[in-house]
Copies of this chain bind each other. A is one copy, B any other.
């Protein structure tokens, strides 16, 4: 791993732990073991770190959904693939994904606009997958936007480290099985 990548990883962990505003370049220097003055050989500023980290994770999500849309598979399979892809990206990038929730408001104007455009692209495309599965009679009729938001919100708690006492005690495989079953068929026993 390059020094720059190492600095990015450590910054992400610190931003998650303390919040972007409360993290100092000195904190980053201490954790990386690099002298504060030398940090600037690798990065421009704390702000640059946040910009790079958030746009990187936004790009991963967008690439994930683009790949799925280009597959020549039925709409229901595409929607399920998009749910699995979201979960996989989120669980393999827990710190970065958490920053989407906690710190995107601290992006600077240009990067914030770019970030929000990508978020919007992702949400729109996810909604299209819902709409297509609905048109094909694979999922129930309803408001596609509410359904899209329901799905994304279920996925979201898996990387929101603030909400529950022990979200990290679950296995990824358990998440995938339980959450997919919840989204696809809910909680009720069929017979009830």
Q: How far is the CA of A166 from the CA of B189 in the complex (A)?
A: 33
15 contacts between A and B (CB under 8 A): A120-B165, A123-B165, A139-B187, A142-B178, A145-B166, A146-B175, A146-B179, A149-B164, A149-B167, A153-B157, A154-B154, A156-B156, A184-B186, A184-B187, A186-B186
Chain A contacts with B in 160-186, Cβ cutoff 8 A: 162-167, 170, 174-175, 178-179, 181-186
Does A192 sit at the interface, judged by CB under 8 A? yes
Q: Contacts A153-B156, A192-B76 given: A178-B147 contact, CB under 8 Å?
A: yes
Q: Contacts A140-B188, A185-B185, A185-B188 given: A179-B150 contact, CB under 8 Å?
A: yes
Does A152 sit at the interface, judged by CB under 8 A? yes
Residue of B nearest to A187 (CB): B139
Interface secondary structure of A, over-half rule: helix
Rank and list the top 9 A-B pairs by shortest CB-CB distance, nearest first: A186-B186, A153-B157, A185-B186, A139-B187, A146-B178, A150-B182, A184-B186, A184-B188, A149-B157
Residue of B nearest to A191 (CB): B137
Chain A: how many interface residues by the 8 Å CB criterion? 44
> Distance (Å) between the CB of A79 and the closest chain B CB?
8
Residue of B nearest to A188 (CB): B184
Residue of B nearest to A153 (CB): B157
Does A143 sit at the interface, judged by CB under 8 A? yes
Q: How far is the CA of A163 from the CA of B189 in the complex (A)?
A: 31
Of the candidates B120, B123, B170, the one whose C-beta lies within 8 Å of that of A146 is B170
> Distance (Å) between the CB of A113 and the closest chain B CB?
14
Does A38 sit at the interface, judged by CB under 8 A? no
Q: Which of A162, A163, A188 is most buried by chain B, counting CB atoms within 10 A of its CB?
A: A188
Report B-chain residues with C-beta under 8 Å of the C-beta of A149.
157, 163-164, 167
Q: How far is the CA of A150 from the CA of B162 in the complex (A)?
A: 15
Report B-chain residues with C-beta under 8 Å of the C-beta of A165.
120, 123
